Each structure stands twice: as structure tokens, then as C-alpha cells.
Amino acid sequence: MAEYITKEQALMQLTGRFPNGISLEKYIRLVNFRLNGLEPADVVERVEYDKMVQSFRDRNENLKQNLINTRNSYFKLEKEITELEVKIDKVIGEIKSIDLIVHDGINHYYRSGEEIKAAVIEILKMNIGER
């Protein structure tokens, strides 16, 4: 024969207390509907109660594991973001270095051009002066 416990015993064992402003009957109906879709009864079969308890435990364990996985994913992403920030800073430094080299080259080119132009003018002046 199945072992039975009262709704009050089941509720007290599951929750340890009742929410304020809610009747025992309404609370048990909500618990039954939410967990197993059961109609409220005067007594809850012990097997059903054990299933409810196991369901609570499984759900709790699943939520804990999801929280752990989420936390681990967060830390992994945080580490990847930090690594990417370092790489970005390195690339920005290289771009600035290349930019300086290009500007130095352009400045040198223009200075060289001016020097060549001045030298050509000097040579032309000398050639014209010799004639």
C-alpha cells in the first residue's frame, strides 16, 4: 500500500513555510499545477511528493550548473577581450611607427628635391656666368 502524507506536511517539507497572504489550499494548487499539472487533492501520495522533491533538486542543480557555465564563459570572454585590447594597442603602435617613417620619408624627399633644385640652379648660374 502507498504511503500518504497530508498536503500540509508536503508543503512544510518542501518549503518550510507559507508565503504571506496565500492560503494553504491555493499554494498547494499552484505547486501541483506548476510542477506536475496535478489537481489538488486532500492527500499527496508519497511517491508524487518524492518526485516533486527530486524535481526541485534537479532544477536547482541544473540552475547551479548553468550559473557556473555562465560565470566561466564570462571569465573566458573577459580574458579574450583583454588579449584583443593588447593586440589592438600593438597594431596602433605599429601604425603610428609606420606613419612616422612615411612622414620622415616624405620630408626627406622634399628636402632632397629642394637641395637638388638649388644645386641645379647653382650649376645653371655658373654655366650662364661662364658664357
Predicted confidence (pLDDT) per residue in 32-84, tens digit? 665 665 554 545 566 777 777 888 888 889 999 999 999 999 999 999 999 99
**Dihedral sign for Cα atoms in the order 61, 62, 63, 69:** positive
3 vs 74: which has the higher pLDDT: 74
CA–CA distance, 70 with 76 (Å, rounded to integer):
10
Give residue 123's pLDDT. Answer: 76
Give residue 114's pLDDT. Answer: 75
Predicted confidence (pLDDT) per residue in 70-97, tens digit? 999 999 999 999 999 999 999 888 888 8
- Within 10 A of 44 (CB to CB), how many other CB atoms are there? 23
What's the whole-model pTM score? 0.41
> Which structural domain range is residue 72 located in?
4-130
Q: In the structure, what pLDDT confidence band is assigned to residue 8 with cuts at 50, 70 and 90? A: low
Per the structure, the count of domains in the chain is 1
